[in-house]
């Protein structure tokens, strides 16, 4: 069985504690409502601070995800080294610059070197990094580095396609703009044929973000 290294936990960037400070968030939301010119005591807004606090506890759960519990011993020994690819993994995250959502799909592949991880764990790894304040470039790299450190495969490839509401709702207001980021490690960086196989696989019949 693969042992968890200190690097795995460092990449996961865990935050101590069982949850976010919901009381502080509730107070802050109430102050924001007043700053907007609203009345936090009117019927439609009375429960809004509590709803927002519970929402952020869910949307930012990635800070407190324990990678050991997440993987739950779902790492298995294998004797093959063919590409493993999970594509079109939906994700939702919050941009750290404006705290507006960005969402899209992630495509993750690796070449096993003695070990594979259970299929459902790849989307869970994506969620662990997506459910925090993020930038897409860093999230893409974190996913790849985590899998590299976890399995020590021959290579890892991650491509993320995102729609950023900070660029559609405000600022430049470009509704059709999509951002694509990629991280290629090991054989995916050094071997053109391997990289092209991965890119060809994720381009066939790709689902639109929205």
141 is catalytic: no
Q: Which CATH number fits domain 22-59: 1.10.10.10, 1.10.286.10, 3.40.50.150, 1.10.3720.10?
A: 1.10.286.10
Q: pLDDT-derived band of residue 114, with 50, 70 and 90 as boundaries? A: very high
Q: How much of the chain is helix, strand and coil, in % rounded to 5?
A: 45, 25, 35
- For the question of residue 46 being annotated catalytic, the response is no
Q: How many CA atoms lie within 13 A of 132 on its CB side?
A: 20
Please report the pLDDT score of residue 23 as a whole number: 96
Q: Do domains 22-59 and 72-203 have the same CATH topology?
A: no
> What would the pLDDT profile of 135-194 be if each residue is shown by its tens digit?
999 999 999 999 999 999 999 999 999 999 998 888 887 777 899 999 999 999 999 999
Give me the pLDDT at residue 209, please: 67
Question: Distance between CA 125 and CA 65 in Å, rounded?
Answer: 9
Q: How far is residue 28's CA from residue 85's CA, in Å, rounded to a whole number?
A: 43
Q: Give the model's pLDDT for residue 26.
A: 97
Residue 210 pLDDT > 90, yes or no?
A: no
By three-state DSSP, how is residue 77 classified? Answer: strand
The catalytically annotated residue of 30, 107, 136, 141 is: 136
What residue segments make up the domains of the chain, in order of their start? 22-59, 72-203
Domain 72-203, second-level architecture: 2-Layer Sandwich (3.30)
Measured distance CA(151)–CA(146) in Å, rounded: 9
pLDDT of residue 172: 80
Told to judge if 96 belongs to the known catalytic residues of this protein, a careful annotator would answer: yes
Q: Catalytic annotation on 95? A: yes
Using the predicted structure, report yes or no on whether residue 12 has a pLDDT greater than 90. no
């Amino acid at each position: 069985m693969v042992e968890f290294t200190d690097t795995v936990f460092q990449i996961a960037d865990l935050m101590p504690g069982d949850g976010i400070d919901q009381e502080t968030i509730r107070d802050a939301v109430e102050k924001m409502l007043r700053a907007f010119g609203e009345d936090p005591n009117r019927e439609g807004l009375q429960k809004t601070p509590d709803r927002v606090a519970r929402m952020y506890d869910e949307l930012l759960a990635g800070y407190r995800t324990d990678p050991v519990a997440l993987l739950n011993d779902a790492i298995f020994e294998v004797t093959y080294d063919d590409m493993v690819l999970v594509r079109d993994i939906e994700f939702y995250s919050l941009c750290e610059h404006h705290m507006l959502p960005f969402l899209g799909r992630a495509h993750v592949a690796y070449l096993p070197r003695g070990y594979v991880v259970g299929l459902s764990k790849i989307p869970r790894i994506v969620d662990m990094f997506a459910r925090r304040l993020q930038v897409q470039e860093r999230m893409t790299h974190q996913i790849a580095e985590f899998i590299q450190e976890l399995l020590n495969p021959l290579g890892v490839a991650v491509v993320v396609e995102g729609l950023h509401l900070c660029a559609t709702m405000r600022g430049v207001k470009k509704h059709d703009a999509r951002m694509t980021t990629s991280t290629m490690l090991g054989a995916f960086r050094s071997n053109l044929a391997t990289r092209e196989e991965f890119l060809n696989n994720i381009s066939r019949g790709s689902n639109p973000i929205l």
